[in-house]
Structure 1
């Protein structure tokens, strides 16, 4: 009987060692993948030290307008993009009188915390009107949240993304660059869609060129300026309704 037990024990040990080795390799590959991300440019980081109205609270960066507001936008960054890269854009939005709350995602990927907005809302009970926004994959996850929580958000704002899930285009603003063909090809609705001529995928944030993205023919400043104008018009039209 002992002759049969030893080979079985060895087989189990070998199998366990193989499984452990595979898990270590997979974990190493994962951490290598997520550690290679787009960093925020200096112009984006400079927003943090520019003036009052911006506070850090855990994994949130809160950009408050000069006057109190009952409306706020929760923003999900694009995949593998440092959250601070979107500060110039959000700083311009908050100057229109809207509170912006930037969420730093686990491993810089919104897919790992698509329901982050729920926790954000609980922390700011004074806000009466919530909009959720996001860029690229962050937009897809924001769209998913809006689809699953239609009674908790007043609308959805997508940048370089399209509706993912069952959410009404009437309650959605979709902004994309004319050179971002992958988004244009996926759009099957036309309501509240704004195309920025000469814009690309990456310039909604300030993190430099993105692999596979077409070079923009306008500056990031111009693309973001037009984006803010579209958002301001969208929110104004909903407030007037």
Structure 2
């Protein structure tokens, strides 16, 4: 009888050890998978990294939650908050940010948790509500891809804070049709990532005076500088040209004295 009890005890101990080992394997697998996911993202190119260096026209500052591109000129009253695309390094948009800063806008590129704007849709609040930014009287929220969709979500809930919304290869699933927010939507003719069926479907969610541009020769990836995104089309223009087009369209839309230099 004693021997039988010892045998049962040994069996139970073995089962406990086996369960512990299974749990340990699962935990390690989850951690390993999470690390792979976190480190699997599109990285900023050398061109984008060079744009992080301040120059005579733009001062670049890195903060805990964002990068700020600030014009060296004084009395700036307009700013742009940028939500990056999913799994894209935020500094990939540095050259685009620098172009806007050179044109007289403070430009904030938000650092998103795990590089996913969906995890921090209200990131703009910290910037808008900061006393350091009390000089800004007009706010534009801009986003690329998923970042654009999340920017639209934020705008729908904060119509009193946002003056303009700029969607780069993105659409709004929230109804903005009755808001006073000025909306500009820009996408490329060679975009292989953007779902253009949904783009057309959700066009009704934008205000009637929203402006939509299809950039000839532009693709999805070149709104930033991080290489070619999976499934994207091949652009027939350079990333610099594509980003210059975005700037020109923005200025043409919101500044009466700026004229487009190309046809869309």
**One fold, TM greater than 0.5?**
yes
2:131 matched to 1:91?
no
Q: Aligned-residue CA RMSD in angstroms?
A: 2.4
Task: Give, in whole Å, the separation in 2 of the partners of 1:59 and 1:84.
Answer: 12
In the alignment, what sits opposite 1:186? 198
Q: Is the 8 A contact 1:162 1:183 kept in 2?
A: no
In the alignment, what sits opposite 1:74? 81
What is the TM-score normalised by the length of structure 1?
Answer: 0.86
Distance 1:11 1:94, change over 3 A: same
Task: Give, in whole Å, the separation in 2 of the partners of 1:134 and 1:10.
Answer: 55
What is the TM-score normalised by the length of structure 2?
Answer: 0.79
In the alignment, what sits opposite 1:222? 241
Pick from 128, 152, 168 the counterpart of residue 121 of structure 1: 128
SS of the residue 1:73 aligns to: strand
Q: What does 1:1-241 align with in structure 2 at a 5 Å threshold?
A: 18-19=22-23, 21-51=25-55, 52-65=58-71, 66-123=73-130, 124-168=133-177, 171-181=182-192, 182-187=194-199, 188=201, 189=203, 191-236=210-255
Task: Give, in whole Å, the separation in 2 of the partners of 1:206 and 1:186.
Answer: 25
Distance 1:12 1:166, change over 3 A: farther
The gaps in structure 2 that reach 5 residues or longer are 205-209, 257-264
Q: Indicate the structure (1 or 2) with the bigger Cα radius of gyration.
A: 2
Structure 1 residue 83, shift from structure 2 partner: 0.8
Distance 1:8 1:204, change over 3 A: same
Structure 1 residue 27, shift from structure 2 partner: 3.0
Task: Give, in whole Å, the separation in 1 of the partners of 2:175 and 2:95.
Answer: 30
SS of the residue 2:129 aligns to: helix
Q: For each residue in 1:192-237, what CA deviation from the matched residue of structure 2 results, as whole angstroms up to 9, or x when unmatched?
A: 1111001000000011111111110111111111111111123336
Structure 1 residue 144, shift from structure 2 partner: 1.1
